[in-house]
Amino acid sequence: MPHDDSASYGVATAYGLATTYDSVIALDAFLDRPWAGETPFARAALSALDRREEFPATACAALDSFGLCSFYVDVRHSGRMRDMAELVQLQRTVARRDLTVAVAHGKTFLGAAPVWVAGAQEQAARLARAVRSGAVVSWALTERDHGSDLLAGEVTARPCEGGWRIDGEKWLINNATRGRYLCVLARTADAGGPRGFSLFLVDKTRLAPGSYRTLPKVRTHGIRGADISGIAFDGAVVPGAALVGEPGAGVETVLTSLQLTRTLCTSLSLGALDHGLDIAVRYARGRVLYGRTLAELPRVRRILGRAAAGLAVAESVVDVAARSIHTLPSELSVVSAVTKALVPGLVQDSLDSLAELLGVRGFLSESYADGAFAKLERDHRIVAVFDGSTAVNRNLLVDHFPALSRAWRKGTADRDAVARTVPGAPVLPFDPARLRMLSTRGCSLVQLLPEAAGRLRHAAGEGLVPWEASRAADELVAFADALHTRLGEQKRAPRNVPQAAFDLAEQYELCFAGAALIHLYLAGAGTPQDVLRLSAGLALVLNRLGHSLGEDRADAFDRLAERLLCERQQQPLQADGAPRSAALQSGATWPEGTRPESTGTPPAAGGTPPAPPRRGPVRRGVS
């Protein structure tokens, strides 16, 4: 299905501002079109597959026919992945319909990523041709007895006549059975250690009969139809050309590749909350109690508004992370860990609150909305575990504490790169050689938070944003300053990290989230929706940091809920109840009674706040 690669940015969508690419518009229309015979993405059909624990083969085939596979291939290898933010939005679009399908199909990018990062040109070109043709690639990292402890892996690869001999078992591997290719991490030095493992791209169709067997599908709580299985090698010989990167560089390649894949994983969370909000809003508008709808109840509006604020925070973090792959790759070890540690948990909290609103209907597997909410809530819980659990990613942040604290004090931010980390900016080619295991420069976005808060203060003085949002930004700056002092004081204990360090890591994630909200607002401020998202998002961030809401900040959730309900009323419905992402008409106005007042008492400040720098035209759209 041909469509232009160029990006075009739309206006506000139902639950936030989404960067809209032509490819995303085309995929959305493709998934919504009338189908002859079986409809691959009909909610009832996907729910039935889930109950039978069957793989969604028809839906995955439909995505193949659309050409989604080509977006898993870097443009350097004749693919269409030129902008990671675009791939995030494509995956989010699929996840909005069904998480199992998104997990099953998107795994190919995860499996291929190490080859795009470290593979030889000829190896990458061969794999690229196969992926563009629909070949499934899996990533075989984990083992039954070792989980995410990669340095304990027992699968071995030893030099032999004809290449390398692989022996051992990989387990809990997505698409291990269905996939043609597996990127396998194997021990190549008996002593192991950071330089004792290598990666191999294994083509199952070229292995000798009897040299491998796939393991049975594992029954899971969520994503029940996915191929979560394993593979056992018994003298499987692969050619020397199967080696990905240098011998002994397997762990380093995995860890740098994870910076890409853990960022993409969070698109699953965004799609899940899109879908969950859609179901909850439909229910609140349609459910009548005591002569009025649930949507008219203050408690219900507060729940919806807080969940929508959670989405605003999550998509701001993910958008900045995806763009940082191109603009700030040397800082991605921090940014990707923050994103993966924060977003799935934040989204799960929002889904839990929506489940409370739905009551028993959120747990029914068939009776309400084809059991879609119960399914997506089950499916989403595994996202926090994919590509490094929350604890693993926070541990990575703890390793960065000295660099983060030092950089905050010295001011080492790359201002030009941060300025390019916005929708509408030219996309720089992805350069894997710039990825680093440790960011020595810290995190530029967070370092520039004080300047961004100053610009927001100036905007409040101009009447463009509520003073409450500016005060919230100043509070966040004060918190971040004190936090960086505590990061520098934290004693390092690599093998016995105290709980206090994990708590500090979580606080840092929230400071990053607030910085992302302000950064994206300043990059294209102006619409009512922007201000609502900023105010409610900052209120949520500070509340999660332990600050009391107060009535003014809590009111931001209610105004965002009003906007949400207003847009839902205007949106066309789909036959199968799946959420639409069609943009609203431009020229949006404030719903009655929801315009945040830009007047009021400004915060005390010494001197004149700095004027915001001049900005060129920015295409509308923040995700």
pLDDT tens digits for range 381-392 = 999 999 999 999
Measured over the CA atoms of residue 574, residue 575, residue 579 and residue 581, the dihedral's sign is negative
**The pLDDT of residue 520 is above 70:** yes
* Cβ proximity of 307 and 540 under 8 Å: no
Spelled out in words, what is the top-level CATH class assigned to the domain 254-414+437-570? mainly alpha
Q: Could you give the residue ranges of the DSSP H alpha helices within 72-136?
A: 84-97, 99-118, 121-132
pLDDT tens digits for range 553-562 = 999 999 999 9
Q: Spell out the domain ranges in the chain.
A: 22-135, 254-414+437-570
Protein fold of 22-135: Butyryl-Coa Dehydrogenase, subunit A; domain 1 (1.10.540)
**The pLDDT of residue 610 is above 60:** no
Give the distance, in angstroms, between the CA of residue 591 and the centroid of all CA atoms in the same chain: 30
Tokens read off for 114: 């190490």
* Cβ proximity of 439 and 337 under 8 Å: no
* pTM of the predicted structure, to 2 decimals: 0.89
Nearest alpha carbon to residue 406 among 490, 473, 329, 500: 490
Nearest alpha carbon to residue 322 among 11, 18, 6, 12: 18
pLDDT tens digits for range 484-498 = 999 999 988 777 899
Nearest alpha carbon to residue 84 among 123, 63, 113: 113
* Cβ proximity of 81 and 110 under 8 Å: no
pLDDT of residue 39: 82
* Cβ proximity of 544 and 508 under 8 Å: no
Tell me the pLDDT band of 8, cut-offs 50, 70 and 90. very low
**The pLDDT of residue 333 is above 80:** yes
Burial 576-593 (b: 16+ CB within 10 A, else e): bbbbebbbbeeebebbee
* Cβ proximity of 270 and 92 under 8 Å: yes
* Cβ proximity of 572 and 580 under 8 Å: yes
Tokens read off for 10: 């739309």
Q: What is the rounded distance in angstroms from the CA atom of residue 595 to the CA atom of residue 70? A: 43
User: Which residues, 6 or more positions from 239, have their beta carbon under 8 angstroms from its beta carbon?
Assistant: 162, 163, 164
**The pLDDT of residue 571 is above 80:** no
